[in-house]
Structures are given as C-alpha cells and as structure tokens.
Amino acid sequence: MKAVVIGGGVFGSLIARELTKYDLEVTLIEKNLDVGWGVTKANSAVVHAGYDDPPESVRAQFCASGNAMYEDLSKELDFDFKRIGSFVVAFNDEELKELERLLKQGEENGVPGLTILERDEVLSMEPNLNPEVKYALYAPTAGITEPWMVAIAAVENAVQNGLKLVLGESVVGFEKVNGRVRKVHTSRGEYEADIVINCAGLHADEIAKLAGAEYVPLHPRKGEYILLDKKLQGLVKRVIFPTPTKISKGILVLPTVDGGILLGPTAEDLPEEMKDRPITTREGLEKVREFTRRLVPSLDFSLVVKTFSGLRPESPQKDFFIKVSETVKNFVNVMATRSPGLTAAPAVAKYVVEELIQEKMRIPLEKKKDFKPERKRIVHYSELPLEEWRREIERDPRAGRLVCFCNEVTEKEIVEAIRRGARTLNGVKFRTRAMFGRCQGGFCMARILKILERELGVDMSEIKMKSENSWVVNGKVRE
C-alpha cells in the first residue's frame, strides 16, 4: 500500500507523520526546496483556544481538539510551544457584548477556562495595555509556537519512520485507472499511489482540478506583519487581540517564542493570480502600527527587525474543506485551511488517517510495532548552563564558534542543520534561527555560505537562498 501526500506545510507534514505509524509506503512531495515554506512559515504562530469559530463549522470541529494536542506533540517532537493564554480586549460596552458572544460560543466549542475580566484585573496581568481598556475575554489555553518548526520536526520524525521526502518537485498531473489515481506525475518523475492526500495550501484547488476531484476555489488573503526586537521582551506576556470584526480576528500584539514582539496581521483579499506574491505595502504596515498602538501605546517602532507578509488560503465558505472525493475514490482534499489551520492541524491529521482513510474509504491499515514517536531538536548551546556549554566546547570546538551573533548560533548547530537536510540559506535559518536576528543575516550570511559550501562539497555559487532562482553569489571577484 502506497500513500502520497502533496504539500509539506504543517498539514501535509503532520499527516505524513501520522501515516508513518502504519505499515505502508509514504511519500511526501513538496515543490519548494524545504518543508514549511508556504502558508506555514508566515502567519501569527498562534495556537488558538477555539472560541472564534462558529459551532457548526468544520473549523470548530478541530480547533479546540487540535489545541489540546499541542502539549504532547511538542514534547514528542521537541519544538517550542508555550501555553501563555490570550486576551480579547474591549474598550466599551458595545465591544463587551461581542466578548460575551465569544464566551458563549467558546463554551459550546468545548474551550475550557474562558472568563471575562474587568479593567483592574486585566491591567494587573498586562500592565502595558492601553489603560482605557474596560474588559477582556481571557482564554488560558491559547499558545504560541514556531509553525515552520512544527512541519520540520514532523518530517524529521516521519523520515526516521520510513517517509520518502521529495523536495523541489511540482505535481503536474495524475494517471488514473477506473476512477482512482495510480500515479502522481511531477516535474521530475512519477510516484505510484493507492492513496493521495492533497495538502497543497494555496494551490490545493489547482491540484484537485488536475486530479478531476471536487474542490473549492481558493484566493489569497494577505496579512502584513512587523517584528520588533527582543529588547522589548516582556512588553506583553499573552496574545493580545482586539475585539474581532466580521472580516478577521483583528491586528494583534503577541510575544514570539524566542522573545520578540510580533504585530499583525492585516486582512486583504487578493485575486487568485497573486497566490505567490506575499508583498508588503506602506499602507498595510501603517495600518499595523496604528491598530497595535491602540492596544499597547508604548510600542517602540525604532526597534523594527523586519516586516513581512503571509498569504492564507481563503474560500467563499470561509471554512475548511476536508473530504474524500466522490469522483476520485482514493483522493482526499485538505484545503481552504485558513485560520485556525495551525491549531487544527494535529487533530485534522488524525481525522484524515483514522476516519477518512480507514473508515470512510474502508482501507484497513495496520499499526507498526516499531514506530518511534520522538525526535530531538538541534541543541542551542547558548541556552545551556555555562559549565555544560564549556564541556561541549571541549568535546567539539565548533560548539564555541559563534556564527550568528544576534541569536548566538554556533557553527556546530549550523552543521547539524545541514546534516538534517538543510541545503539552502533559508533551510539553515528556519532550523537554527541564524539570520533571524536584528541584522537579518547582514553579518553571518557569508559565514553560513562558507559552511554550506564546505559541508555540501559544492561551489558557493550553487547555494541558493530559498528557490532554484534565488542565487546569492554567481562567481568570484578574484582568484
């Protein structure tokens, strides 16, 4: 039995890992040169509590249950997850009515611990909030993580359990026999399949069309962000939402797992042809500044580290589309996975494998006896006690050679990232946080290029930033 998962974002990665728990051949095909680089890498990184989704929606079916799975998942896969809680703040009695609606809706969705707090208690917990705040809906189960690391960790663990990972290949067609996919054709080869799971993010509708399966039309909803320096660490301790509107959850202020402050996103619907254009605009970033200052007036925009935007797959029904195709009997769609997609992903992965494949498609799968659920992260040496770090340096001097000074990333960590599969600068970046700091690679990129050149045994001109076309250097100035 052979299963092919298309798309290496957080959904595809977790579904692929879930499949490797069973006795079947699993292949994950990702068009980028690494996993987690599409919708997954540029979002708010919030593990939502689950009060925002209408109870009758598919989103509500998976949000609170997905949230509940993150603690154990983060321990198994050794990625950062912090259950810091969230506030939805209200500045008047009209907004209080919306908090009361969200509280009732969250209780219907099975979200534990929700409560509405008044001004004094809110400010005692978050003293840097706008003192004009009157109320806040407190959700203690909300959390933060690094979305790309969830995908990377899941794939690393899946590879340990037999996953075949195919990078840099786009799906271009399908070969079908008697209404079932038998081969998946890519830009470089073909792969036999008894089961196909479509997790292609913004392009999932195009993949479904190629297969002749049902789909919902997708368009990008753009969100622009501003990241502030770690010097502001502690400015807020929780995820701070404004009272939501019909369009979005609003522009928020939240801490990142490594100590920065993230602001955003905006919400702008773009035409279908802009699925691969996550651009920022002066107007969008100014909107982020304006709206977040209303929440936290003391935000210091002289400490901006970077600005960026992300694209989310939105559909007319504004809900997940997770179904077995009726026209292509062995094809599963996991599409329109807009917010709270990151939160829902672990629960969706189990649902796809246990309910859709085994129950709905009636494909019996036998669990492996030797599945290894645990994966260990790359050791970040600067986080170790000094004496322990000193002993590591004695064992391997590379553990003492700082390459990225902003985030204190050593040569040994970068070498480990390369040995785990990083082949590009961004591959190193997302595995180690090198080039993620205030200089954004200005001081360390050249050194990382040299390490990649040495470890991979290729000329530096062959090393890419993120895609086949993103070369960094094209030759030597002099010999």
Residues forming the active site: 48
User: What DSSP letter does each residue of 342-374 carry, written as one string?
Assistant: HHHHHHHHHIIIIIIIIIIS----PBPSS----
Q: Which residues lie closer than 8 Å to 397 by C-beta, 6 or more apart?
A: none
Q: Is 26 left (phi over 0), alpha (psi -120 to 50) or beta?
A: beta
d(CA 337, CA 416): 32
Q: Which residues lie closer than 8 Å to 238 by C-beta, 6 or more apart?
A: 84, 85, 86, 87, 125, 126, 142, 254, 255
Q: Are 192 and 330 in contact (CB under 8 A)?
A: no
Q: Which residues lie closer than 8 Å to 467 by C-beta, 6 or more apart?
A: 32, 33
Q: Are 135 and 119 in contact (CB under 8 A)?
A: yes
Strand, coil or helix: 275: coil
Cα 272 to Cα 134, 215, 218, 317, 442: the distances in Å are 41, 15, 7, 16, 34
- Sheet containing 164-167: order of strands: 164-167, 25-30, 2-6, 195-198, 331-335, 321-324
Q: Which residue has the tokens 């254009």?
A: 277
Q: Is 306 left (phi over 0), alpha (psi -120 to 50) or beta?
A: beta
Residues 412-447: b if buried by 16+ CB within 10 A, e if exposed: bbbbbbbeebbbbbbbbbbbbbbbbbbeebeebbeb
Residues 325-336: b if buried by 16+ CB within 10 A, e if exposed: beebebbbbbbb
Structure letter (DSSP) for residue 384: S
d(CA 479, CA 464): 22
Strands 239-241 and 321-324: unpaired
- SS3 sequence, 437-457? CCCCCCCCHHHHHHHHHHHHC
Q: Considering just the CA atoms, what is the radius of gyration of the chain in Å?
A: 23
